[in-house]
Amino acid sequence: MIGLLRLLFLAVASWFFLAVIRRLFRASSLPGQGKDEAPEQITALLVQDPQCGRFLSERDALQISVRGHVAHFCSQECLDLYRKSRIAQKPTSK
Cβ-contact 70, 64 below 8 angstroms: yes
CB of 48 to Zn ion, least distance (A): 9
Instruction: Tell me if 74 contacts Zn ion by CB under 5 A.
Output: yes
Cβ proximity of 69 and 93 under 8 Å:
no
Among 10, 18, 21, 52, binds Zn ion (CB under 5 A): 52
40 phi/psi in degrees, rounded to 5: -60, -35
Verify binding: residue 79, Zn ion, rule CB under 5 A: no
> Which residue from 49, 61, 71, 82 is in contact with Zn ion, where contact means CB under 5 A?
49
Task: Please state, in angstroms and rounded to a whole number, the distance separating the CA atoms of residues 81 and 94.
Answer: 20
**Smallest gap, in angstroms, from Cβ of residue 54 to Zn ion?**
5
- Spell 13-32 as b/e; 16+ CB within 10 A means b: eeeeeeeeeeeeeeeeeeee
Interface with Zn ion (CB under 5 A), residue total 6
Nearer to Zn ion, 37 or 80 (CB): 80
Q: Kindly state the smallest distance separating residue 60's Cβ from Zn ion, in Å.
A: 11
Binding site for Zn ion (CB under 5 A): 49, 51-52, 54, 74, 78
